[in-house]
Amino acid sequence: MRLITSLDDVHSLTLDLRRRGTTVSFVPTMGALHEGHLSLVRRAKSEGGALVVSIFVNPTQFGPSEDYSRYPRDLERDCEALARFEPDAIFAPGPADMYPDGFDTHIEPGNVAAKFEGALRPGHFRGVATVVVKLLNLVAPDVAYFGQKDFQQAAVLRRMIDDFNIGTRLMICPTVREHDGLALSSRNAYLSTEDRLAAPVLYRSLNRARELFHAGETRADVLAAAMRTILEAAPRAKVDYAAVVRPDTLEPAAQAAAGCVALVASRVGPARLIDNLILGPPGAPDEELIELAFEAPATSGGHTRP
């Protein structure tokens, strides 16, 4: 396992791998690794070829009042967690490496980034898209792995990869949850004992929408109202949004159908948490639901797949 901080070195490594005919899998992270991240690493490792994992807390996706300075960082611990997977490289550049003096070009995502997280966190997806383009250019992976938990991010990146004809396949993997349904997140570390007990309310609200959908309710506004009612009944939760949307555009759905996505975001204590469930047939496995949500290409000429 090789720890690389130089942009030139990681590019040279992966270029050499590709010249030798080795496929390259890539898992980009911001560190503070948990089982959700490691499930992506495990999936990438299981599919063979070379594996690169990046660890970079990207400053451009944080707003001025957000938690960039206190975002958890522990590179040594992250490297220890990754060691058992034997990645070919851990790429851990610094901010000055990724954004040197004079850096002045950014990717501006379109409509799919304008709502929900994009509306509440101005500039967030601009920072995400820009850093992902840089990472994909440096690593040039055949496949890049992202989690379903950040569904809007996945939709933004899918559109960007398709629009710019980037030769990387985007693989979206299921959300990993605690025993009580709380989606794993590095920001869960901010939760106090009381907040941690309250945080699964996000999953309960999503489950209620799914139950109603399975019972035959297809009015998206009714499903969204049911989610909001559960969230608002939790005294420690401050709701940002609850919606049922089309998976390709994230526009609110009028009638929920298989493949539509229930989205929620709420502040619980000091932590801002997001979560989602893809609606579909009862008992359908997560992988099948992800395929259902992403079955259509981002554009008529698209080539990315879930």
Give me the active site residues, please: 37
CA atoms within 13 A on the CB side of 71: 22
Residue 189: DSSP 8-state = G
Of 173, 126, 156, the residue nearest 248 (C-alpha): 156
Of 114, 119, 168, the residue nearest 146 (C-alpha): 168
User: SS3 for 52?
Assistant: strand
What number of other Cβ atoms are within 10 A of residue 244's Cβ?
26
- Beta bridge partners of residue 277, listed in sequence order: 262
- Beta bridge partners of residue 143, listed in sequence order: 25, 169
> Side chain identity at 233, as an amino acid letter?
A
Q: Is the dihedral of CA 239, 128, 139, 171 positive or negative?
A: positive
Q: Is the dihedral of CA 167, 29, 146, 1 positive or negative?
A: positive
Of 271, 286, 284, 280, the residue nearest 237 (C-alpha): 271
